[in-house]
Structure 1
Amino acid sequence: MRRRALILVEGGPWGCDLLYAQAAQRLGLHLIILSAHSTCDDNLAAEEIQTMRVDTSNLDALIRECSRIRATYDIVGIAGKSVAYATVGKLCRHFGLPGPNPASIELCQDKFLQRQLLADAGVPMPAYRLAANAKDVESSAAEIGLPVILKPTINGGSIGVRLCRNLDEVAEHTAYLLGGKHIWLSLPRILVEEFAQGPYYTADIMGNEVIGIAAGDFGPPPHFVYRQFTYPALLTDEEYNRIADVSLSCLRALDLSWGPTNIEFRWTRGGPVVIEVNPRMGGTPDPQLVRLAYGIDLITEHIKLVIGDECDLRKRHSHTAAARFLVADRDGALDWIGGDSQAAAVSGVAEAKLYVEPKTPIVRKGDYRDCIGHVIAASPTHAQTEAILQHAVDLIDWSITPFPIPDE
C-alpha cells in the first residue's frame, strides 16, 4: 500500500513549513514541499521532509511534478500559503482534490479588483483610486485627500506599501515604485487609498466561520512593519459582531466559502473598514496564537479540509496569546544577536525564534523582511501575557555596526 502524501506548494516563512510537517505527521501523512526557492532548514531536515524545486507559478510544471510524485505516493491533498495560491486551486481541480476556487483567488489577489467587488457589495472601506503613472497618482491623492497609502495592486507582506503624508512623499514613493527599484509581480499599477486611522484588527476565518479576531500594532510610519499581535483582541460583543458581520459580507462578495481567509480591518470613527482580504491563512504567528488562545490548531484543521476530512473548530479554552516581532533598528552588519534561549525559558513563553545569524548584513526594506525574530507568549489573562512577553523580549539583544559611509 502506497504512503499517503500531502503536497505543500511554497509553504510559508518563519516556521510554517515545520508546523505543516508536524501536523501532517500527526495525521499519518508524508509532507512534500514544492517551492521555487530553497525551503530547507535544520528543523525541516530533522523532520525528514522532502523538498523539491519547481516553478510554482507554472501550472504545467506543477502538474508534471505531482504526476511524478503520484508514481510513488498516494497524493491525498494539496495545500498552499503563498502568492501561488490560485495555482494551487487549479492544481487541486486537475487532480480532483478539494481546494479553493482559483477564479475567486485570482480576483482577490488583485487589490483593485478586490476593492471594486467589495464596493459593489456595499462593504465599508477606505476611498481608493487606481493609478498607472505619476500624474494619476498625484491627482488621485489630491482627490482623496492627504495622507494617503500607496501600494502595488499585487503583492504581500507590506512590500511597496507606504504612508504618504504630503505631496513630496507621494512623489518620492511614486518614483521609487515606477523607477525600476520595485519588483513588480504584474503590470505597474498603483492603488492610492485613503489612510483609515484607528486600531488595527485581523479576523481569522475557516470556511464561513469566524474563528477569532486579533489586535495588531505597527512600528513607526511611514512603513507598516508589524510590531505585535494579541489574540483575542479586547473588543466588546458589539464590536466583535460588527467585524464578524463585515467579514462574512466580504466572503459573499468575493465568493470565498472554502478554506482559510484572513481579513484586515481598521476601526475608524464610523466603525470597521476593510483594509484587505487575504484568501488564505495568515502566516506566522496567526496559527500559533489561535492554538494558544483557543486550543484550535488551524493548520491541522486546514489539512483535514484539504484531504476531505471534517474540521473541528470548537474552542477548548480561552487564553490570551501575543507575539512580539523583533525589528532591526538600523542598517549595517549584525555583529551578534542572542538571548533567545533565555527568553524561551521564561515561563509562559511558547516560542522565541531568531531569523538571522551574526555577520548577516541588515538592509531594512520597510516591510515584513525587516523582522529578525519573534517571541510568542500566552497566559490566562491579557495583562499577564503582556508582562511575560515584555520580560522575554528584554532578554534578547543584538548589535549592528552601521555600514561605512563611502567617500564622496
Structure 2
Amino acid sequence: MLPKALILLEGSRMGTGQLYVQAAKYLGLHPIILSSDPAQYDYVATENTEAIRVDTDDPDALILECYRLRATYDIVGITGLPNPGESLYAIVAKLCRHFGLPGPNPTSIERCCDKFHQRQLLAEGGVPVPAYRLAANATEVESAAAEIGLPVILKPVVGNGSSGVRLCRDAEELAEHTIGLLGGTYTWQTSPAILVEEFAEGPYFVADIMGNMIIEIGAGKFGPPPHFVYDEYTYPAPLTDDQRTRITDVSLSCLRALDLNWGPTNIEFRWTKRGPVVIEVNPRLAGSPDPQLIKLACGVDLVTEHIKLVIGDECDLRKRHSLTASARFLVPDRDGTLDWIDGAAGVPGVAEVTWYFKSKTPIVRKGDARDCIGHVIAASPTPTQTSAILQRAVDSITWSITPFPAIDE
C-alpha cells in the first residue's frame, strides 16, 4: 500500500507553509512541496520535508511531476499555500480537477484573480464596492481619478500582499505612482492594467470563511499612508451585533456573486458611512498570522480543517473557547542589512514570536506586506489584557539594521 501524500504548491516565508507541513504530518500524510525554489523555505530542512524543484507557473510541468510521484505515493490531495496568491490557486484548482481530487471550481477562482472582473461581478450581485475604473495608461488613470474624485487607490489588476497598491491623495502622488507602475519599476504578472478606485475610508475588517460558514471576523490596522503595510490584527473584531450581522450578510452575498462554495475564503472590508464596503475577496486561506490568531481566539484550526477538505474528509469547525488574540507586525524604518533581531519570547502571555528574515539579510522596503520582518502574537481572556501583553512584548524587542553604503554620484 502506497503512503498517502499531500502536494503543497509553493510556500510562505511568514510561517503558514510550516503550519501546513506540520498539520499534514499530524493527519498521517506525507507532505511534498513543489516549488520553483525550495531552498528559500527554512522549514524544508527543519521539518525534514520532501521538496521538489519545478516551475509552479507551468501547469503541464506540475501535472507531469504529479504523475511521476504517483508511482511512489497515493496522492490524496493537492493544495496551495496562502501567500503566493490567487493565480497559484487557479492552477491548484485545475490540478485537482485533472486528477479527480477535491478542490475549488477553477472558473470561480479565476474570476477572483482579476480584481476588475471581480469588482464587476460583485457590483452586479448587489455587493457594496468602491467606485472603480480600469486604466491602461497615464491618461486613463488621470481621467478615472477625475471621475471618481481624489483621493483614490491605484492598484495592479492582478497581484496580492498590497504590492503596487498606494493611496494617491493629490495629483502629484497620482502621477508619481502611475509612473512607478507603468514606468518599469513595478514587475507585472500580466499585461499592465491599473484599477483606479475610490478610497473607502473607515475601520478595516476581514471575514474568514470555510465553505459557506463565517468562522470569525477580525480587525486590522495599517501603518502610515500612502502604503498599506500591516501593523496589527485582532480576533475577534470589536463589533456590535448589527455590524457583525451586516458583514456576515455581505460576505455571503460575495460568495454567491463569485460562485465560491468550497474551501477557504477571506473577504476584506472597510466600514464606511454606508456600512461595510468590500475591498477584496480572496478565494484562499488568509496568510499568517491569521490562522494562528483564529486558533487562539476560538479554537478552530483552519489549516488542519482545510487539509481535511482537500483530502475529502469532514471538517470540524466548532468553536471551543473565546479569547482575544492579537498580532503586531514589526516593520523597519530604514533600508539596510539586518544585523540581528531579538526579544519578546520570555514575556508572559506571548503565544508566538516569528522572524521572517535571518541576520545579515538585506532589507529593502517596498511599501507592501514584504516590508514586515516579523510578528508577535498574544492571547488572553480580554482585549485590554491582550493589548497590554502585546505592548510589553513589542517594547522588549530590539533589532539593528546597518544602512547600505552610500553610492557616490
Give the alignment partner of residue 131 of structure 2, picking from 127, 131, 140.
127
1:49 aligns with 2:53: no
Give runs of aligned pairs for residues 21-100 of structure 1, distance below 5 A.
21-38=21-38, 41-81=41-81, 82=84, 83-100=87-104
1:293 aligns with 2:294: no
8 Å contact from structure 1 (residues 204, 282) kept in 2? yes
How far apart in 1 are the matches of 2:140 and 2:201?
Answer: 24
AA matched with 1:269? K
How far apart in 2 are the matches of 1:154 and 1:89?
Answer: 18
Q: Secondary structure at the match of 1:344?
A: coil
Give the alignment partner of residue 184 of structure 1, picking from 164, 188, 201.
188
How far apart in 2 are the matches of 1:191 and 1:39?
Answer: 34
Query: Which residue number corresponds to residue 231 of structure 1?
Result: 235
Give the alignment partner of residue 326 of structure 2, picking from 290, 297, 322.
322
Q: 1:12 to 1:359 in 2, by over 3 A?
A: closer
Give runs of aligned pairs for residues 149-168 of structure 1, distance below 5 A.
149-168=153-172
8 Å contact from structure 1 (residues 13, 283) kept in 2? no
1:221-262 superposed Cα distances (whole Å, 9 cap, x missing partner):
000000010000000111001001000000000000000000
Give the drift of 1:338.
1.9
Q: Secondary structure at the match of 2:38?
A: coil
Bigger mean CA offset, 388-397 vs 211-220 = 388-397
AA matched with 1:172? E
Give the drift of 1:43.
3.3
Q: Secondary structure at the match of 1:321?
A: strand
Give the drift of 1:198.
0.3
Give the drift of 1:42.
4.2
AA matched with 1:222? P
1:255-292 superposed Cα distances (whole Å, 9 cap, x missing partner):
00000000000000110000000000000011101100
Query: Which residue number corresponds to residue 398 of structure 1?
Result: 399
8 Å contact from structure 1 (residues 40, 51) kept in 2? no
Q: 1:335 to 1:40 in 2, by over 3 A?
A: closer
8 Å contact from structure 1 (residues 289, 322) kept in 2? yes
Give the drift of 1:403.
2.6
1:300-343 superposed Cα distances (whole Å, 9 cap, x missing partner):
0000000111101000001000111000111122233222xxx1
1:345-398 superposed Cα distances (whole Å, 9 cap, x missing partner):
222111111122332222100011100111011111111111111111111111
Query: Which residue number corresponds to residue 200 of structure 1?
Result: 204
TM-score by length of 2: 0.97
Query: Which residue number corresponds to residue 270 of structure 1?
Result: 274
Query: Which residue number corresponds to residue 332 of structure 1?
Result: 336
1:351 aligns with 2:352: yes
1:2 aligns with 2:6: no
Query: Which residue number corresponds to residue 220 of structure 1?
Result: 224
AA matched with 1:289? L
Structure 1: give runs of 5+ residues left out of the alignment: none
Give the drift of 1:35.
1.1
Give the drift of 1:344.
1.8
Q: Secondary structure at the match of 2:19?
A: helix
8 Å contact from structure 2 (residues 265, 285) kept in 1? yes
Give the drift of 1:41.
4.1
How far apart in 1 are the matches of 2:44 and 2:379?
Answer: 25
Bigger mean CA offset, 194-203 vs 43-52 = 43-52
How far apart in 2 are the matches of 1:110 and 1:225?
Answer: 22
Q: How many pairs are equivalent?
A: 405
Q: 1:97 to 1:277 in 2, by over 3 A?
A: same
AA matched with 2:287? G
How far apart in 1 are the matches of 2:280 and 2:207?
Answer: 11
How far apart in 2 are the matches of 1:336 and 1:80?
Answer: 31
How far apart in 2 are the matches of 1:259 and 1:362?
Answer: 35
Query: Which residue number corresponds to residue 252 of structure 1?
Result: 256
1:139 aligns with 2:140: no
Give the drift of 1:40.
5.4
Q: Secondary structure at the match of 1:337?
A: strand
How far apart in 2 are the matches of 1:314 and 1:176?
Answer: 46
How far apart in 1 are the matches of 2:249 and 2:375?
Answer: 31
1:18-72 superposed Cα distances (whole Å, 9 cap, x missing partner):
1011111111101001112235544332322111111111111111000111100
8 Å contact from structure 2 (residues 13, 41) kept in 1? no
Give the drift of 1:407.
3.0
How far apart in 2 are the matches of 1:60 and 1:66?
Answer: 10
How far apart in 2 are the matches of 1:293 and 1:153?
Answer: 33
Structure 2: give runs of 5+ residues left out of the alignment: none
Query: Which residue number corresponds to residue 367 of structure 1?
Result: 368
TM-score by length of 1: 0.97
How far apart in 2 are the matches of 1:154 and 1:13?
Answer: 21
Q: Quick one: percent identity of the two aligned structures?
A: 71
Q: Secondary structure at the match of 2:109?
A: helix
8 Å contact from structure 2 (residues 78, 101) kept in 1? yes
Give the drift of 1:400.
2.0
Give runs of aligned pairs for residues 297-308 of structure 1, distance below 5 A.
297-308=301-312
Q: Secondary structure at the match of 2:216?
A: strand
1:184-205 superposed Cα distances (whole Å, 9 cap, x missing partner):
0111000001000000000000
How far apart in 1 are the matches of 2:26 and 2:364?
Answer: 39
RMSD over aligned CA atoms reads 1.1
